[in-house]
Structure formats: structure tokens, C-alpha cells
Structure 1
Amino acid sequence: MFRHTKHLQFEAKPEKPDALYAMKLQELIGGAFGEMTVTMQYLFQGWNCRMEGKYKDLIMDVATEEIGHVEMLATMVARLLEGAPDDVTAEAVKDPAVAAVVGGMNPQHAIVGGGGPVLADSAGTPWNGKYIVASGNLMADFRANVAAEAQGRLQTARLYHMTDDPGVKAMLKFNLARDTYHQNLWLAAIQQLQEDGVEGPVVPSDLFDEENQEHAGTLWHLSDGTESDQGVWASGPAPDGRHTFEFLADPAALGGPASGPAPKPTQYVTSHADASGKPKQPPQAKGPGERIKDAFQ
């Protein structure tokens, strides 16, 4: 079960309202890498975890913390929207400079949220459950978590430089620190999975004998760039300890032309042949007499 405590994990008090910045801050709530995404991602990873113990407990700890981050940001957005839009705002926008700022606000804050936050990103696009990754494989999921936290911290850092409000900056400093910890946490958890022998570097740790070994370690040089062979990924042992890297400077195509099968005549696809492979015969128009004859038949 979940129990809500009526205190924010960290304070969320802006020095003054700023409707335009409230719209920008929506990205950290409902964006693809926002707090709603990591909240639901970690919750479903925890619920999907089939192994009781430290890994599931860890996931649920962080998932529950992320719910609090959504609450912090939602509270901050509501406080940034204080007094906007209302009669005071309508009067204020008579000043061209103020109108330019207020004009950039998200109208859904007023129309949908009643002066509060909405579950959407900074462009007003609704949050989507397809953003989350919860596969049941901890190695795959933890790697997705590192990426999500990295993108979230990147966006938080950019937003940090978009405001001079001390109250907003104080909260974002806290968020930056938690994103730092969470990146390190998931990186450490990835290492722990390997040390515990639960998962290997390659997901899933299976079908190595069935895969085509000839192509399990080769970098195909397929661009005009000239330095892709200058990294550790181009030669030597692979991180999984089972494969060896190799650089193919001039790889050859292994398949034939990328042509689909002949279409059915009723699909009206432009082609030179019908479904049987024979030259396509266009439908012939029939005269009135033939159409009457066909109808009686």
C-alpha cells in the first residue's frame, strides 16, 4: 500500500509567480524523461520483479521517492501560476512587456488545470505510458533507468539556467543532486547484477550458441566517417567475455534486392506483374450489353 505524508521531500517555493517558466517546468513533470515517467517506470519494474529481496526493495524505494518529485514539481508549477490568469493578469497584459511574458504561458494551465499543473510536457503534449520501460529483465531495465536519469538531469540542468528565481533554483539544486545519485545508483546496480551472477552484460544471457557467431562481434563500416575503428569497440575482447570485436572496412551485402512480392490485382499497386508473376492485365471496360449479360448470369 501507499501512504501519503503531507510534507514535500524538499521545499518548492518560488520567489514570485512566472507563468511562462511554469510552462517550461512542465517538461520535468510530463515529458518523456520527466518525473512521471520514472515514477511509473520504477513502479512497474518493481511490480514486475519476480525476485524478492534487495533489488525489488531498491526499485520500490526509488519509485516511491519519484512520486514525491512529481508532487514537488506540481506544487512549484501551481505556485508559479499564482494570480495568473485572472482579472489582475488581464489588466497587467495591457503593458506590452508583461503581455509578451504572459502570452507564452500554457493555456491549458487555465483551461484544464484551473490554474494548476497538468500531466503534459512543456509543449502541452499529454504524458504517455509508452514512455516507460519495464521488461522484467533487471539488466535491461536498469540500463534504461540510467538513460532516463541522465536525460532528466540534462533537462533539469538546462532549466536551471532559464530562471533567476532563488526558490526555483533551490529546488532544482536538490533535483540535480537526486538525479546524480540515481544515475550512480543504477550504474552500481548493473555492476551488482553481474557480481551476483544474476545477469550478464548481454541481454538476455541466452541463445549464444544459436546466434550466428560470424556476426556477433563485427562493426560494419557503412558511413563516410573514417574514425569508427579508433575505439575499443572495433578490436579485442568484448565486455561479455564471450565475443571478440572485429572491424569490417568494406562489408558486402548478404541479401538480395529489397523487393516485395507481386501484389494482388485488387490492391491496385503499380507493378509489372500480377500475383502469379505473369504480366499484369489491366481490367477491361465492358460495354452495356456485356454488363446486362453478366447481371443475368
Structure 2
Amino acid sequence: MIATMVYKLTKDATPEQLIENGLGDHYANHDKALFYQNASGVPWTATYIQAKGDPIADLYEDIAAEEKARATYQWLIDMTDDVDLQDGLKFLREREVIHSLRFREAVEILKEERDRKKFF
């Protein structure tokens, strides 16, 4: 969704405007196509996905990822005065909060199950 927001904000920009605003390298490589990268220009890679194989450890990784995304959305909200863009970002930020809460609930359920004696 963020890449789509960036696309909508830049779709009518001229190459000169993109260059003036620090997007010349991106334009030279990708035109106005969506290309997933961080703010420093490092492309997205599957190595960003962390998995241990233990459900509780993996859920804690998920919680951390949701909280990092929440913080990023807040910083983006703080960087713009475009109300429509802020509304979309606020929706995404709140979605991360809910995801984090659900993952935390799942951790507690798994901990209860892990500690419960099982009789067969």
C-alpha cells in the first residue's frame, strides 16, 4: 500500500521533478514502476523474514515487525501535511496495532498450552 501511495504521489511528476527531489536514480532504473526498497534504497529481500520454527519465538518476531511498521507509519504521518495520505497511513498504523495485539494473544494461548499437562 505504501508503494501505491508513493506511485500516486509521483505518477504525474516529470523526470526533471523526480531528479530535483532525489528520485533520479530510481527513475533511471525503474521509471515510475513500484520497486520495493527501504528509505535508503536497499531493495526488499526475503532475508527480512525471520523464522525460527518455534511458534512462540516466531510470534515474537511477528510482534516486533508489527511494532516497527507501526513506528514507520507514524513517522510517515508526521512527515506529510496531506490529509488524505495521513488517513491512509493512520489506517495502516492502526492495522499494525491490531496485528500486534492478536499475535500477543496467540503467544499467551501457546504458553498456556505448552504448560498444560497432557494425558493420553
TM-score between both structures, scaled by the size of structure 1:
0.36
Give 1:179's aligned residue.
Answer: 96
Give 1:131's aligned residue.
Answer: 48
Aligned equivalents of 1:79, 1:132: Cα separation in 2: 27
Q: C-alpha displacement at 1:198, in angstroms?
A: 7.2
Matched, 1:75 2:4: yes
Unaligned runs of 5+ in 2: none
Asked if structure 1 preserves the Cα contact closer than 8 Å seen for 2:10 and 2:32, the reply is yes
CA change 1:83–1:77 in 2 (3 A) is: same
Query: Percent same amino acid among aligned pairs?
Result: 29
Give 1:290's aligned residue.
Answer: none
CA RMSD of aligned residues (A): 2.1
Asked if structure 1 preserves the Cα contact closer than 8 Å seen for 2:3 and 2:36, the reply is no
Give 2:65's aligned residue.
Answer: 148
TM-score between both structures, scaled by the size of structure 2:
0.84
Asked if structure 1 preserves the Cα contact closer than 8 Å seen for 2:70 and 2:97, the reply is yes
Q: C-alpha displacement at 1:125, in angstroms?
A: 1.1
SS in 2 for 1:194: helix
Give 1:115's aligned residue.
Answer: 32
Give 2:105's aligned residue.
Answer: 188
Matched, 1:85 2:14: yes
> How far does the alpha carbon of each residue in 1:38-80 deviate from its partner, in whole angstroms, 9 at most, with x for none?
xxxxxxxxxxxxxxxxxxxxxxxxxxxxxxxxxx222211111
- Structure scoring higher RCO (CA < 8 A, sep ≥ 6) equals 2
| Bigger Rg, structure 1 or 2 | 1
Q: C-alpha displacement at 1:130, in angstroms?
A: 1.8
> How far does the alpha carbon of each residue in 1:201-236 deviate from its partner, in whole angstroms, 9 at most, with x for none?
xxxxxxxxxxxxxxxxxxxxxxxxxxxxxxxxxxxx
Unaligned runs of 5+ in 1: 1-71, 94-100, 200-297
Aligned equivalents of 1:176, 1:118: Cα separation in 2: 21
> How many residue pairs end up in the alignment?
116
How do residues 32-51 of structure 1 correspond to structure 2 at under 5 angstroms?
Answer: none
How do residues 12-31 of structure 1 correspond to structure 2 at under 5 angstroms?
Answer: none
